[in-house]
Structure 1
Amino acid sequence: MFRPSLVVLFVAFTGTFAGSADLPRSTPEVQGVSSAAVREFVEALDKINTMHSFMVVRHGHVIAEGWWKPEAADKRHVLNSVSKSFNSTAVGLAVADGKLSLDDPVLKFFPADAPANPSDNLKAMTVRDLLTMSCGHDTEAKTVGGPSVKQFLAHPVAHKPGTHFQYNSLGSYVLSAIVTKVTGKTSLEYLKPRLFEPLGIKDPEWASSPEGNSIGGSGLKVHTEDIAKLGQLYLQKGKWNGKQLIPEAWVGQATSKQVPNDQESHAKIGVDWQQGYGFQFWRCTHNAFRGDGAGGQFCVVLPEQDVVVAMTAGGANMQAELNAIWDKLLPACRAEALPADAAGQDKVKQAVAKLEVRPAAKKTN
């Protein structure tokens, strides 16, 4: 699964979280990154309020990791919309199994939930449109009593599907409902033997709807390392331990720009929210891609640098989190191993040992 190299254990946090399928650990220098750059990255993150955790993987090896107390390696974290990238993977597997097609109309799966007189735009909406957040809505439908397919289908479809990007978590829920329709299993159940178990993701939790489907667009709880594993799997084009878990073609489609998302409203979030959208994955600057979730959850993949970064938080400045990667880690990646730096590694450990969650900054009038 990973490129052979000298593996040196680098524990950058107090306490350990042992697992049967943990990613291998290494020093930053062995993997071509200076400990000084890693320390600067940690310090940059620590200036952001409400950070909870981070993990940096280079060449398939964890070179740094940390948790802001009282968060810890053995605690699951709700992913918010990073859940969408896992849910998208379930859709990709169902497509590979021949259970559905990207061009299937959404109404095909829910005839009993359709409005009495569906609009032409609703009739034209496909699975692909759900994946790319281009269903045709002007706004996201509000849910009452939990997400439901009927509420989604009743929402006016103002634009021709495929022509207008509108972030839509309820659409992600409908994708989860489709997975259940065509496989007879929830996204959580469907992914357990196909994704979670091969990656060593133990006891994932996924909130479900009153209709019995995994929420899909949010609600998944796993460990920080599990987020990194998903990123590593996609970095490796769907292959894990020599086995193709998800089709390479799906990885390419899911993580490439399928639709533009450069609306003015996204400029208020940050430049990395205007680089295009794939199949429940965002494109980033620096030719990277990511899953992201409200409050500061991230699974960032930098293919050119062979790097994966997982982060969790409780309301952080999300563009600042990404900027810490672009400013501190990305320039530090070298093609060759660096000389050992025990003193530098010790400074990283010291920096990580001091991490404690800081509350969100108070708003002032």
Structure 2
Amino acid sequence: MNKISKLPRSSPEEQGISSSAISRFLDYIKEQELELHSLMIVRHGHVIAEGWWHPYRSDREHMLFSLTKSFTSIAIGFAITEGLLSLEDTLASFFPEIEIKHKNEFRDIQVRDLLTLSAGHENATMGWDLQQIEGSWVEYFLNIPLDHEPGTRFLYNTSATQMLSAIVQRVAGLPLIDYLEPRLFEPLGISRPYWQTSPEGHNTGGHGMSLKTEDIAKFGQFLLQQGFWEGRQLLDKNWIKEASSFQIDNGDNKEDDWQQGYGFQFWLSRHGGFRADGAFSQFCIVLPQQDAVVIITSGTHEGPSILNLVWEHLLPAMSDRSLPADDESRTILNLQLNHLMLPTPKLMKTSPLDEIVSNRVFKMDANEKNIKEVSVIFNSDSCTFVLKDDRGEHQIICGYQEWIEGATTLFDNALHSVYLPTEITVCAKAGWRSEHDFEMSWCFVNTPFTDTVVCHFDGQQIQLNRTVNTDQSVTRPTFIGKMVQL
């Protein structure tokens, strides 16, 4: 059982950064309409600023996507330190029972090649692709023909990291989550995370982990301290140095934070830093020169804009020494941090159509999602959206003025990428944006995703449209139905 410990807290000024600089950073985040879900800044081992955009909270885990890869790198580091494998070992040598049905003209893929995402393929097999494979992911990967000499060409490829997870489980006899429990999670006081598994029972090494913001911060501080934690060297510091150093070229644009070079499942950043990095702007930014860690969870593709604001407003404000107390600026910052919230549209609570459509069943035309019926039940302070499909009945309760939290099975994996839950926590708000258009916001608060669902009522007909915050160009088809006569 992990001890649940917290990082020490301090004021920004005590750790050499002004509260006003952090306030400016938050102002620009808001001005540029960047959807952050949490922010935690650690300086000299102390949390100096932390905030969550309501309805996200400190006690909720957040999907990390490819930020997971860096945890897999650390597991490989432990395994190498313990003599279970080496960088030069070949992938095929760990799975002699798997028949490779093609012959390569190139050398075999080594552990080092998997770590540097240079396995030799022309095309990537990403998390969504893996989810479509019902059989062995390892067998599938080993039977992809190579197009290049391994180790010579960087290709961002989640399936390569998945092979690292399979290797650790093969040599250690434990899945990644259990292998890391006594070595990393327990010493750092990290709550046991949610972590997906493959059909073979391997944790998904390249994606699939969820963690609380502070637990990500502990991981970042562990990296900053080169594996040293509370008087113990948990992992050989040389591994973290190597993993976070330039190992392979990934581009030549010196202004692009995704072309600064790649380590062992870590991205190198501008300004001498490195980071663990996941889709929709999940960041664990480690800044050794500033002795700082910045954690950000988000629901946006605008990662470059977020990093630019870190470089422009947080980095220059970090001083080598403590600053004088600034109670006024600190009070302003604390007010900002305590009142962060996701922006939602201003909607009307009622419409003349309330009584006409409330609790009426709309039978849907044939559609690709097999939605059979929908209905909306309007109450004084909330409404309940009900949808029936071939999986059964699903409900989401929406507040008019406040988010209402619940659990739902109404999750759309075509909109939400690779995660496949059967039930998920949702916070929902709703209201009328016009007499005929009822709009709901469904915020899946352990994920980057908020869906906007609009019901357009026109006489006896309903039109249902659904979009997602992370990509407004991705929509479900318009679903059309007609009111069932009483």
TM-score (norm 1): 0.90
The residue matched to 1:291 in structure 2 has which SS? strand
Q: Runs of 5+ in structure 2 lacking a partner?
A: 344-468, 475-486
Alpha-carbon contact 1:45-1:321 (below 8 Å) kept:
yes
Instruction: Give the drift of 1:48.
Output: 3.8
Q: Say which structure is richer in helix.
A: 1
Q: For 2:95, which of 95, 110, 113 is the aligned residue?
A: 110
Instruction: Give the drift of 1:166.
Output: 0.2
Is 1:136 matched up with 2:129?
A: no
Question: Which deviates more from structure 2 when the two are superposed, residues 294-303 or residues 148-157?
Answer: 148-157
How many Å separate the matches in 1 of 2:471 and 2:122? 32
Q: For 2:111, which of 99, 121, 127 is the aligned residue?
A: 127
How many Å separate the matches in 2 of 1:357 and 1:138? 40
How many Å separate the matches in 1 of 2:149 and 2:69? 23
CA offsets, 1:14-34, max 9 Å, x none?
xxxxx8411000000000000
Q: For 1:38, which of 22, 37, 41 is the aligned residue?
A: 22
Q: For 2:218, which of 214, 229, 232 is the aligned residue?
A: 229
The code of the aligned residue for 2:144 comes to H
How many Å separate the matches in 2 of 1:42 and 1:233? 26
Question: Which deviates more from structure 2 when the two are superposed, residues 139-148 or residues 214-223?
Answer: 139-148
CA offsets, 1:211-253, max 9 Å, x none?
0000010111110011111111111111000101111110111
How many Å separate the matches in 2 of 1:263 and 1:214? 33
The residue matched to 1:315 in structure 2 has which SS? coil
CA offsets, 1:24-69, max 9 Å, x none?
0000000000000011122223334331111000000000011011
How many Å separate the matches in 2 of 1:73 and 1:277? 31
Alpha-carbon contact 2:40-2:51 (below 8 Å) kept:
yes
How many Å separate the matches in 1 of 2:153 and 2:301? 28
Instruction: Give the drift of 1:362.
Output: 4.4
2:326 matched residue in structure 1: 341
1:12 matched residue in structure 2: none
Q: For 2:233, which of 244, 247, 255 is the aligned residue?
A: 244
The code of the aligned residue for 1:135 comes to A
How many Å separate the matches in 2 of 1:112 and 1:236? 40
Q: For 1:26, which of 1, 7, 10 is the aligned residue?
A: 10
Alpha-carbon contact 1:188-1:214 (below 8 Å) kept:
yes
Instruction: Give the drift of 1:105.
Output: 0.8
How many Å separate the matches in 2 of 1:208 and 1:360? 25
The residue matched to 1:177 in structure 2 has which SS? helix
2:178 matched residue in structure 1: 189
Instruction: Give the drift of 1:263.
Output: 6.6
2:165 matched residue in structure 1: 176
The code of the aligned residue for 2:278 comes to G
How many Å separate the matches in 2 of 1:115 and 1:300? 39
Is 1:202 matched up with 2:187?
A: no
How many Å separate the matches in 1 of 2:230 and 2:261? 31
Q: Runs of 5+ in structure 1 lacking a partner?
A: 1-18
Superposed CA RMSD:
1.8
Q: For 1:275, which of 230, 235, 260 is the aligned residue?
A: 260
Instruction: Give the drift of 1:363.
Output: 5.3
Instruction: Give the drift of 1:293.
Output: 0.2
Q: For 1:329, which of 284, 290, 314 is the aligned residue?
A: 314
Q: Residue 40 and residue 101 in structure 1: after superposition, are their counterparts in 2 closer, same or farther (change >3 A)?
A: same
Alpha-carbon contact 1:48-1:317 (below 8 Å) kept:
no
The code of the aligned residue for 1:342 comes to D
1:10 matched residue in structure 2: none
Question: Which deviates more from structure 2 when the two are superposed, residues 74-83 or residues 19-28?
Answer: 19-28
The code of the aligned residue for 1:201 comes to I
Greater gyration radius: 2
1:305 matched residue in structure 2: 290
2:70 matched residue in structure 1: 85
1:160 matched residue in structure 2: 149
Q: For 2:57, which of 48, 72, 80 is the aligned residue?
A: 72
Is 1:318 matched up with 2:283?
A: no
Alpha-carbon contact 2:102-2:145 (below 8 Å) kept:
no
Q: For 1:255, which of 231, 244, 250 is the aligned residue?
A: 244
2:271 matched residue in structure 1: 286
Alpha-carbon contact 2:118-2:151 (below 8 Å) kept:
yes
Alpha-carbon contact 2:23-2:336 (below 8 Å) kept:
yes
The code of the aligned residue for 2:49 comes to A
Alpha-carbon contact 1:102-1:128 (below 8 Å) kept:
yes
Alpha-carbon contact 1:107-1:114 (below 8 Å) kept:
no
Report percent identity of matched pairs: 45
CA offsets, 1:325-354, max 9 Å, x none?
101110001011111011111111121233
Alpha-carbon contact 1:48-1:321 (below 8 Å) kept:
no
The residue matched to 1:113 in structure 2 has which SS? coil
Instruction: Give the drift of 1:355.
Output: 1.7
Corresponding residue pairs, total: 341
2:355 matched residue in structure 1: none
How many Å separate the matches in 2 of 1:362 and 1:208? 29
Alpha-carbon contact 1:183-1:190 (below 8 Å) kept:
yes
TM-score (norm 2): 0.68
The residue matched to 1:182 in structure 2 has which SS? helix
CA offsets, 1:66-108, max 9 Å, x none?
1011100000011100100011100100000000000001110
Is 1:148 matched up with 2:137?
A: yes
Q: Whose RCO is larger (CA < 8 A, sep 6+)?
A: 1
Alpha-carbon contact 2:109-2:119 (below 8 Å) kept:
yes
The code of the aligned residue for 1:140 comes to A
Instruction: Give the drift of 1:360.
Output: 5.0
CA offsets, 1:82-139, max 9 Å, x none?
1000111001000000000000011101122242333132x42100000000111111
Q: Residue 298 and residue 53 in structure 1: after superposition, are their counterparts in 2 closer, same or farther (change >3 A)?
A: same
